[in-house]
Chain A
Amino acid sequence: MAIGLGALPTDVAAQTYPSTGPISGYMDFHFNKPESADGSLDFHRFVLILTHSFSPRIRFVGELELEHAFVEGLEESGEVELEQAYVDFLLTRSFNIRAGMLLVPMGIINERHEPPVFHGVERPFVDTVIIPSTWFDTGAGVHGEVGRGLRYRAYAMAPLNALEFSADEGIREGRQKGSKSNVRSVAFAARTEYVGVPNLTLGASVYHGRSGFNVPRLHVPVRVVDVDARYKLRRFETRGQVAHVSIGDAAALNDAVQRITGISPNIARGLRGFYGEASYRVWAAGPSKDLVSFFRYENFDTQFRMPPGFVPLKEFDRDAFVFGVTYFPDPDVAVKADFVLQRNQSGFVKAPNSFNVGLGWWF
């Protein structure tokens, strides 16, 4: 299709404002079969996205997610989350303001998690237990792009809640999720991305915030850093990510939690994860003839560095070998199948392997 114009008009755009966009969203439907356990069918995510433009420069985006299809009060039985709800004030290419419920700009997946854009039925482990995707909270900040493809985002946000940290999932349960988030101290998150070279994306992110607002006399500063890259060359695509979490006052935090619950959570002072993924488009004949095979190696350890006097739980020093295929009957529909082989450093607790099939779509 082609559109030809004799010259560009200099008048205002044709679109009228305000305007509400159509509903968009994505869905994720999974079959998971862990080794030595029954398989399960899970409608993992049902996400609706709403948009509204008050004017060309003031826009709203909202993302409402239902997880695991059914809500009964606890996350295990499902969850309704307001993952995004913000207003963008689009001022210039290099400087814009955003406020509301924001995604933390961290890593590859957290801001880019629609099912057709990543391989594997489930998101990478590193993007789950090291970077707690989907990581979102209330806040405000700025974003923009300068030069030839250097982008930035910098937000002030509600911090994590250290009282919910754990040995196996690190900081994940510390997300306040914008539900009356305590902001006795404010966290800062920033990311820069370089997209100026075709087919290459380089990213680096940092998060810093005090998380001890529920723990008397403790600050519990948490810092998360990440570097990541994605590159495509014809049918070949690769991506990699390294993430590290440091938790200050970890020893005192363990003591405080033990006083409250009676159990030491064995929270580490350092968590680390990295992965590398390679994929190859084995069938690239356009829509409906589009098949990708992939392999991903992940290493993630939520007990990487322990505070003095604490012994790491080695079952949480884990490797994962994930390999499978993604078939695209349409670029917005992904049929996935993979095997996940997990290993850990424990001589007693075995990490379960699994076979997974998924159907995800974007509309």
Chain B
Amino acid sequence: MLLLGIVLVATAGAGAYRAQAPERRVIRVTAERFAFTPSRIVVEAGEAIELRLTSDDTAHGFRIQGTDISIVIPKRGLPETTVTFTAPAPGRYTFECTRMCGAGHNFMRGELVVRPRRDGARDR
């Protein structure tokens, strides 16, 4: 398992981390039985991404398959959780709820689509 620069920090620490990463694209994702909205996220390779995740009901899991991103989205009314990363090589990455949330739990999946950079720069 290849781990690349994982930093798990408290909220205060996250603010400091964000300050070092300019031009980050913020994408808000809402989780609710049994869907993520949006369920399809399109980014460019190498793009700095910040996912801000909230739940409208119970606690949900959020994992991007093939990566080490796997977190819990707190229940409704609790502060959002944030995931920051640099978009990887072009491809399709499935994200899913990992915390059993009800009868339709296995439907709760989405897709991170990473497209080649339009400016022709090499993917990081």
Q: Does B26 contact A (CB under 8 A)?
A: no
Q: Is the CB of B109 within 8 A of A63?
A: no
Q: CB < 8 Å: which of B4, B37, B94 contacts A93?
A: B94
**If the complex has contacts A63-B103, A148-B38, A151-B107, are A2 and B84 also in contact, measured as CB distance less than 8 A?**
yes
Q: Which of A2, A14, A201, A284 is the most central at the interface, judged by chain B CB atoms within 10 Å of its CB?
A: A2
Q: Does A184 contact B (CB under 8 A)?
A: no
Q: Which residues of chain A are near B39, meaning CB under 8 Å?
A: 145, 148-149, 195-196
Q: Is the CB of A287 within 8 A of B106?
A: no
Q: Which residue of A lies closest to B62 (CB)?
A: A3
**If the complex has contacts A113-B103, A362-B58, are A290 and B77 also in contact, measured as CB distance less than 8 A?**
yes
**Is the interface on chain A under 10, 10 to 19, 20 to 34, or 35 or more residues?**
35 or more
Q: Which of B37, B55, B81, B92 is the most central at the interface, judged by chain A CB atoms within 10 Å of its CB?
A: B37
Q: Annotate B29-65 by CB proximity to A: 1 below 8 A, 0 otherwise.
A: 0100111011110000000000000011110000111
Query: How many Å from the CB of B112 to the closest CB on chain A?
Result: 9
Q: Which residues of chain A are near B84, meaning CB under 8 Å?
A: 2-5
**If the complex has contacts A93-B94, A111-B104, A148-B40, are A7 and B75 also in contact, measured as CB distance less than 8 A?**
no
Q: Annotate A1-42 by CB proximity to B: 1 below 8 A, 0 otherwise.
A: 111111111111111000001101010000000000000000
Q: Which residues of chain B are near A88, meaning CB under 8 Å?
A: 106
Q: Which residues of chain A are near B1, meaning CB under 8 Å?
A: 9, 11-12, 14
Q: Annotate A128-149 by CB proximity to B: 1 below 8 A, 0 otherwise.
A: 0000000000000001010111
Query: How many Å from the CB of A153 to the closest CB on chain B?
Result: 8
Interface residues of B in 67-115 (CB under 8 A from A): 67-71, 74-79, 81-89, 92-94, 100, 102-107, 109-111
Q: Which residues of chain A are near B6, meaning CB under 8 Å?
A: 3-5
| Cα–Cα, bound, A232→B58 (Å) | 17
Q: Does B10 contact A (CB under 8 A)?
A: yes
Q: Is the CB of B85 within 8 A of A149?
A: no
| Cα–Cα, bound, A151→B87 (Å) | 26
Q: Does A215 contact B (CB under 8 A)?
A: no
Q: Which residues of chain A are near B66, meaning CB under 8 Å?
A: 8-13
Query: How many Å from the CB of A340 to the closest CB on chain B?
Result: 25
Q: Which of B58, B64, B87 is the most central at the interface, judged by chain A CB atoms within 10 Å of its CB?
A: B58
Q: Is the CB of A93 within 8 A of B103?
A: no
Q: Does B121 contact A (CB under 8 A)?
A: no
**If the complex has contacts A5-B5, A331-B58, are A90 and B17 also in contact, measured as CB distance less than 8 A?**
no
Q: Does A238 contact B (CB under 8 A)?
A: no
Q: CB < 8 Å: which of A5, A24, A56, A196 contacts B100?
A: A24
Q: Which residue of B lies closest to A98 (CB)?
A: B106
Q: Which residues of chain B are near A56, meaning CB under 8 Å?
A: 65
| Cα–Cα, bound, A22→B59 (Å) | 14
| Cα–Cα, bound, A330→B110 (Å) | 27
Query: How many Å from the CB of A189 to the closest CB on chain B?
Result: 15
Q: Which residues of chain A are near B34, meaning CB under 8 Å?
A: 111-112
**If the complex has contacts A12-B66, A15-B70, A63-B103, are A6 and B82 also in contact, measured as CB distance less than 8 A?**
no
| Cα–Cα, bound, A56→B79 (Å) | 29
Can you add 10 more A-B contacts, CB < 8 Å, to A2-B82, A5-B84? A4-B17, A5-B69, A6-B5, A8-B85, A9-B66, A15-B63, A49-B100, A63-B103, A93-B110, A331-B77
